Structure 1
Amino acid sequence: MSRYRKIINKLFASLLFVVLLSANNNVFAQDGEALFKANCANCHKPDVDFTGPALKGWKEREPEEGWVYKWIASPAGMIGSGDAYAVKLAAKWKPTVMTGFSQLKKAEIDAILKYVDDYTPPAPAAGGAVAGSTEGGSDNSLLFGILTLVLAVVGIILLQVNSNLRKLSDEKEGIHRGEPVPFYRNKTYLMIGVLFFAVLTGYFLTNAAIGLGRMKNYQPVQPIYYSHKVHAGVNQISCLYCHGGAQDSKQASIPSVNVCMNCHMAIKEYKGDPIVREDGSSVNGTAEIQKLYSYAGWNPTTKSYNPDNNHDGIPDGARPIEWVKIHNLPDHVYFNHSQHIKVGQQQCQTCHGNIQDMGEVYQFAELSMGWCINCHRETKVNFFNEADSSGNKFYSIYEKFHKDIKNHKMDSVTVEHIGGTECQKCHY
């Protein structure tokens, strides 16, 4: 029996070691991605320029070994010291200046840089999945759940084996004990099971409650297939041409049919590259333009609007396009587009993703309170510089920050410093 006991112990020890090793390797592989998304993704993409430069290939651009660590710790300090490459970066990406991440350890920076170097763009999603979706990417919840379940099963098996071995040992030594309680009637096991399922249920219920109302990756079918990739990407039409309210008012506004017709009175057919939906089906661009004419009440043959026979002020047959709203915030949340675009000098891509690469638009970010607060904590304001009178003069009222920057107590001012995380700023 001693020989069998040794075999069983080695078997379960090996199983436990393999499970822990494979889980740890997976977790460590995810560290760089998780750190990148937590600290860098608001301004950087691995392979394309965003608010800041693409990070892939950083090694070839680094002026000297170890420079990147000093830059990440204090970009403003590097620029202030006159470092040539730092000054060049600041000039290229002005007025945005990178936030310092002095709290990151060297090992964490190495993990981020390794993730960037090893990054490969995800393959196009199939079966209607949204391009750019990160579902299943960095979320280790399922892995940890499976690992916990496996360890719990292994623990129960080891306890049962231990009980059987103890019974055999007692019989050999002549010690008589009562029959052990079966594990399915053992109160200890039952309590462990109840607690486990209570915690598991609470976890999923909490996550579900937190996710209520969040519509990340929501991509409804629109009345007309309007491709931002064709308009904003290929043809380089400024976002503000169609969404002029984004710079001057709270709402970005949906353009009227007349705005579309400014171009499509002349552009009657689509001659660009083939347009393909996420599910692989093709889009007839010319047919979509014809839909626009139907909504506008425009006759492309006569090159004129339909007559207004009912004298209601609009061409016969014309009607508004019933676009399906994608980005929705709760009624108690205040968000002002102009404050972010004009004052904060944020790009549309900060919240809407690479809109210039999208066919039908989908919701890129979760738009949760935590997501907004993290952005406010990391984003620098265009703080007024007394030396050359550059920046937003509104911020000249913050004398304390001017003194702290002058005395090198701070290297920059973020939205959080000027009250960007106070409740009443966004809730009313």
Structure 2
Amino acid sequence: MYRRVSILLRKHFVSVLILCASIVIPFSSVKAADPAKGKALFQTNCASCHNVHKKLTGPALAGVEDRWPDKKLLHQWIHNSASVLATGDKYANALYLEYNKTAMTPFPQLSNEEIDDILAYVKDEQAKTPGGSKTPAGDTDAAGATDKGNDNSLLFGIITLILAVVALILMQINSNLNKLAGDKEGVPTPDPVPFYKNKAYLALIILVLFMVGGYLTIQGAIGLGRQKDYMPEQPIFYSHKVHAGINQINCLYCHAGAEKSKYAMIPSENICMNCHKAIKEYTGPELTTAEGRKVDGTAEIAKLYDYVGWDPEAGKYTKPGRPIEWTKIHNLPDHVYFNHSQHVVAGQQQCQTCHGAITEMDEVHQFSDLSMGWCINCHRTTKVQFADNNYYSIFEKLHQDIKDKKIDSVTVEMVGGTECQKCHY
């Protein structure tokens, strides 16, 4: 009888394992679209022509999935719009005519999963009320919060742990039943080894702990020196949302070095005073810190006057000024070469590519981790102005490949943008 029970239990044990696998495998194979990754891809590939809520060079992307009859067709449009136009699709051709027969730049390098990440980011932005309140950037940006909401790693970990415990319990029960069956039939069977003395179990636990510890150690080492979402408190509350967003002051007016040198430069107080000699009071929308504390904009302007020694009543400088000790947010290691002018002028990159939605930030935080992998991924997907550019005349093979229609564009990587010495020398 006990032998039968043991055999039945083994069968049930196998059935449980099969059931567990059937539960876990679908979870692991289905990957939810990631708005956080989509945000980075959007800034790199789409932001120069598209905005979520308003028309730019191309249409606003809010509701873009609803406008296309088939998501596969939308994927095809993004990969190569000409191939969709050739099918005679009414919506595609109407869109083409609406924008004066300007073809959309093809993005064959984007996978369907990456496009879905971008669409998830667009949906996430669409869900917000334009101009409304945002999640404080110091805690987490909206995409980051969504990313945490869609991250199933914790769920997978809990399921795996539960299944492991169930498996160990079943194995222990099976061992005890074998012992009982053997005793009943007069077959000498050694007592089952307690779990905490079983060398196989202990070795397995040590191996798992070693793997988890190694993974956490490696992740910690990789993250050393990175400060994504870093948002220090500054000596004066300066809102980029008010200056660059609402008042539309060009970034290069204050950060003039961005198109002329390696460094964007922190603006001097004189640049601030060009406007604030006349603007003495703040009359814009309510300002709050990331913690929700209200900020008196007029009092912050008074701090600026105190630093520079300006008397707003007398309309002149009445005492020596002193430097404002701004806290630097974006830092790169000393062994990394980065040139702002090369990216802004030659690369025609928008500030938002690296710094995120700066025009929506009351307090600036570091949008990207600025890791080597992040930079390389950008170089792999960003196209250069290759045609009619004498600087690239030496790349004869690439010019010939374009003529032969083997490729339709050239990325930074294809002209050596991922070689080590480009950034480390």
Q: What TM-score do the two structures reach when normalised by structure 2?
A: 0.83
Q: Look up the SS of the partner of 1:166 in the other structure.
A: helix
| Correspondence for 1:381 | 384
How do 1:338-349 and structure 2 match up within 5 A? 338-349=341-352
Is 1:100 aligned with 2:108?
Answer: yes
Could you give the per-residue CA deviations for residues 141-178 of structure 1, whole angstroms, max 9, x where no partner exists?
A: 44443333333222211211211222222233332211
Across the two proteins, how many residue pairs are aligned to each other? 409
Q: What TM-score do the two structures reach when normalised by structure 1?
A: 0.82
Is 1:405 aligned with 2:402?
Answer: yes
Is 1:274 aligned with 2:277?
Answer: no
Is 1:423 aligned with 2:423?
Answer: no
| Correspondence for 2:144 | 134
1:92 & 1:224 partners in 2: Cα distance?
Answer: 48
Is 1:166 aligned with 2:174?
Answer: no
1:23 touches 1:143 (CA, 8 Å); kept in 2? no
1:79–1:351 CA distance, 2 compared to 1 (3 A): farther
| Correspondence for 1:21 | 23
1:352–1:33 CA distance, 2 compared to 1 (3 A): closer
Q: CA deviation at 1:224?
A: 0.3
1:55 touches 1:116 (CA, 8 Å); kept in 2? no
1:384 & 1:4 partners in 2: Cα distance?
Answer: 75
2:363 to 360, 363, 367: 360
Is 1:58 aligned with 2:68?
Answer: no
* Identical-residue share of aligned pairs (%): 49
1:86–1:401 CA distance, 2 compared to 1 (3 A): farther
Structure 2 residue identity aligned to 1:365? S
| Correspondence for 1:312 | none
Q: CA deviation at 1:22?
A: 7.4
1:277 & 1:111 partners in 2: Cα distance?
Answer: 33
CA RMSD across the alignment: 3.7
Answer 1 or 2: which has greater helix percent. 2
Q: CA deviation at 1:278?
A: 1.4
Structure 2 residue runs of 5 or longer lacking an equivalent are: none
Structure 2 residue identity aligned to 1:398? F
1:30 to 15, 29, 32: 32
| Correspondence for 1:42 | 44
2:234 touches 2:327 (CA, 8 Å); kept in 1? yes
How do 1:220-235 and structure 2 match up within 5 A? 220-235=232-247
1:209–1:66 CA distance, 2 compared to 1 (3 A): closer
1:112 & 1:371 partners in 2: Cα distance?
Answer: 16
1:191 to 179, 196, 203: 203
Q: CA deviation at 1:222?
A: 0.2
Is 1:200 aligned with 2:212?
Answer: yes
| Correspondence for 2:76 | 70
| Correspondence for 1:244 | 256
1:75–1:379 CA distance, 2 compared to 1 (3 A): farther
1:420 & 1:395 partners in 2: Cα distance?
Answer: 13
Q: Look up the SS of the partner of 2:196 in the other structure.
A: coil
1:278–1:74 CA distance, 2 compared to 1 (3 A): same
1:67 & 1:147 partners in 2: Cα distance?
Answer: 37
